[in-house]
Structure 1
């Protein structure tokens, strides 16, 4: 059994620090009790269905909302599927494989490797969370392949997740900040309340930099102190993870029908065809804004993978090997679509949905800007546990959050960021966003959630209090509303 060797080193564990011992207790608990991601999402689904029924008294309407919402995020599901596949295809190309091997040789110790992965994950997430998630996961696999190097595969996997679990909403991947800065993306009712809020009021403020540095420092410190010792580390081999990459059938075929599969002609033709679209996309807007769009990101990664593999046969083989890693996304994401609809689309006799009731319960408790910030953070974290989708959820909740912010004279830009910062915290427990990474690492959520839960327990109160304190450094400005 997996825990046998760790339990035999109990005396060693007792001499380790308090944080590390606490993390190991959490890891042991998660390995024993944390369910598979499918079981997790179905349990949440049942809880939300019961709550929505009690709130609205309309069981048939709740059931109908679940069915209507089940397919509501299929475009996003496919986008996430291609995040995994595109990352895999690029990483399995010879040039990317060489880069990963070079980076994997940098760390000298297991603990250093875990901090190294966490640092790269956090920094890359500020540009694009998809790059952070995929590249960090592949880097962990490459480090784990090093001969004679003992790496706790679970702790390293948790470190690879920190960019998405802690910091991606503080950078250019912040969906609410992107939406608020783009007039054409704002629904008329929200724009009439908040106006357009530029990046200089959200992600480019010095207050956001303070939060980022604080979160990064704390995340790396936790990763360092919770990393198991060499004697108590559990490797990928001990977890039953096969790190080998299937060999690709690149042998030249003599069959005339196969010749194009082994020729770069088609690759060059497709690259030329797409070059005009890529040039137009980047010429029409900010490069960072373009890269923050999942469709653009996925297309660029697939094209990059095609070019790096050069020959279609190699590209097709890598694509085939990548598909199984996305199976959890394809099965489970539709359930989250149903959950979102049950929370937001079914209303009671007063026209209030379950999501509305939760929001008003939190936000209507005070007119103090500091306490208002705390309540927004707590509310965002609570609902984010059930509906982990920052951008789409913001469009639903923003009208009453921003109305309350105006009433309490809270800074609108920082209200967006408080919501932003805390909305991602439940991702450290809810396996929704873990699925692409788990597919790459070939792990289950129970393998890493013990470590990410420690991150959550420390970050949640810290981030909420820091964000609330920083709200007091802002001066309220009434929104600049569009002309009628």
Structure 2
């Protein structure tokens, strides 16, 4: 019996994957290269080497709060995932798919939908689902393709959803810097993420992303399972309760302290979620991490069981702790190292794109600019503060719809996440693989998404009329 040939997308994904596994460096090397490239470019535009060096050092610790949040995201997600109740629930969900490809499609659907509500939640939940599915050896599921499906929400839909940093900033006057507010006024959600054009774009991207996940998933001999990576997630957290010989032992193995702290946490959560929109509340990384840590403490029962789970989670945050400071340096060099005219590298990049844009080409030009800048400054909210003054001034000058300008930023800003390890690191830490392992499948998504996103931004933008800033 002849074996059916592999599809075009599968062959392309495997070819890129084989190349990246051999040639793609560790993501830390990738971050170091980013620093060097941005530093050289800043010197080329006339920024003094001393200013570039100062920006490097000053920016190195600028992402410490975010770094801590992301590290806690991984720890909290892992702690909850290894608890017996959650493991049982995820294992039941993992029994639904009947084939490797349907399993990968399930991961993609969960990633795309959850990312619309909360991007941080999508990265951890989908990683846990991948592990549960990968344990089903009879599925013979490609671990790399499933991991790539888990990150697809970050590369396709997250910035078009409720946790969009740019849309949230523009909808709240108190959050906007005065310079941006004077240009745009307040832009409500009805003019950004809830536009009918935005919803159309979400549906199209979801359908296409799922189709790519399905058709690029390796079959037969091309498959590389979790077992092929030599990974084992079968360790069960064992209770260490012992006969109490001293007060310290009793407190560690008694649920009393856990119950009291959980009750305090529940009271705080009640006020937090009743005083504001619950979706916006959970979109805060601090709130998200707090909820999951309290949940983890409750699910593990005793402080000792909880601490055992935390200790096993810590190695997964290595990449985050060592790489995120470099991304902070990149952002600082691009924005703070200026030449004799007072202009930074980000200003020159923005000026170039704005200068070549017209009303008809605005969506494509700004989309490319946002995607390129996002590769070096992978921060939705922070990058919008950098980008908005130039983009929104151009939108006003060209009489282009301001809300759709925000969506151009959102849709294009997500694209670099398909190849930039920045937002992959928490998920990769849980899955215990590297960026090079999944790059073949995320690059396949990017090759299709880039022209599709630019076309949709242009075509849908043509249906909208300019609305003056609302102040």
TM bin, normalised by shorter chain, reads over 0.9
Work out the CA distance in 1 between the residues paired with 2:11 and 2:461. Answer: 35
Length-normalised TM-score, structure 2: 0.97
Partner residue in 2 for 1:6: none
Does 2:111 match 1:121?
yes
Work out the CA distance in 2 between the residues paired with 1:21 and 1:268. Answer: 53
Post-superposition offset of 1:13: 8.7
Partner residue in 2 for 1:4: none
The within-5 A match list for 1:16-35 is 16-35=6-25
Does 2:82 match 1:87?
no
Partner residue in 1 for 2:311: 320
SS at match of 1:424: helix
Post-superposition offset of 1:240: 2.0
- Gaps in structure 1 of 5+ consecutive residues: 1-10
Work out the CA distance in 2 between the residues paired with 1:89 and 1:128. Answer: 19
Partner residue in 2 for 1:238: 228
Post-superposition offset of 1:380: 0.3
Does 2:89 match 1:105?
no
- 1:241 and 1:443 in contact (8 A); partners too: no
SS at match of 2:451: helix
Post-superposition offset of 1:12: 8.4
The within-5 A match list for 1:193-212 is 193-212=183-202
Greater shift, 305-314 or 14-23, is seen at 14-23
Q: What is the RMSD of the two structures over their aligned residues, measured on CA atoms?
A: 1.5
- 1:13 and 1:232 in contact (8 A); partners too: no
Judging changes above 3 Å, is the alpha-carbon distance between structure 1 residues 309 and 462 closer, same or farther for their aligned structure 2 residues? same
Work out the CA distance in 1 between the residues paired with 2:46 and 2:177. Answer: 26
Partner residue in 2 for 1:449: 439
- 2:112 and 2:158 in contact (8 A); partners too: yes
Post-superposition offset of 1:14: 8.3
Partner residue in 2 for 1:281: 272
Work out the CA distance in 1 between the residues paired with 2:97 and 2:239. Answer: 33
Partner residue in 2 for 1:263: 254
Post-superposition offset of 1:130: 1.2
Work out the CA distance in 2 between the residues paired with 1:252 and 1:139. Answer: 33
Partner residue in 1 for 2:174: 184
Judging changes above 3 Å, is the alpha-carbon distance between structure 1 residues 13 and 161 closer, same or farther for their aligned structure 2 residues? farther
Partner residue in 2 for 1:293: 284
Judging changes above 3 Å, is the alpha-carbon distance between structure 1 residues 13 and 296 closer, same or farther for their aligned structure 2 residues? farther
- 2:52 and 2:337 in contact (8 A); partners too: yes
Judging changes above 3 Å, is the alpha-carbon distance between structure 1 residues 310 and 193 closer, same or farther for their aligned structure 2 residues? same
Partner residue in 2 for 1:342: 333
Work out the CA distance in 2 between the residues paired with 1:164 and 1:277. Answer: 29
Work out the CA distance in 2 between the residues paired with 1:422 and 1:269. Answer: 46
Judging changes above 3 Å, is the alpha-carbon distance between structure 1 residues 474 and 442 closer, same or farther for their aligned structure 2 residues? same
Judging changes above 3 Å, is the alpha-carbon distance between structure 1 residues 33 and 147 closer, same or farther for their aligned structure 2 residues? closer
- Gaps in structure 2 of 5+ consecutive residues: none
Greater shift, 456-465 or 234-243, is seen at 234-243
SS at match of 1:285: coil
Work out the CA distance in 1 between the residues paired with 2:114 and 2:91. Answer: 18
Work out the CA distance in 1 between the residues paired with 2:424 and 2:393. Answer: 33
- 1:291 and 1:297 in contact (8 A); partners too: yes
Deviations 1:243-292 (CA, angstroms, capped at 9, x unpaired): 23254343333223211122221112112222332222222211111111
Post-superposition offset of 1:307: 1.1
Work out the CA distance in 1 between the residues paired with 2:47 and 2:467. Answer: 41
Partner residue in 2 for 1:427: 417
Greater shift, 123-132 or 245-254, is seen at 245-254
Post-superposition offset of 1:414: 0.7
Partner of residue 49 from structure 1, selected from 21, 39, 46 = 39
Work out the CA distance in 2 between the residues paired with 1:391 and 1:279. Answer: 27
Work out the CA distance in 2 between the residues paired with 1:435 and 1:195. Answer: 36
SS at match of 1:410: coil
Aligned length: 470
Judging changes above 3 Å, is the alpha-carbon distance between structure 1 residues 13 and 154 closer, same or farther for their aligned structure 2 residues? farther
Post-superposition offset of 1:47: 0.6
Greater shift, 16-25 or 92-101, is seen at 16-25
Work out the CA distance in 2 between the residues paired with 1:294 and 1:435. Answer: 16
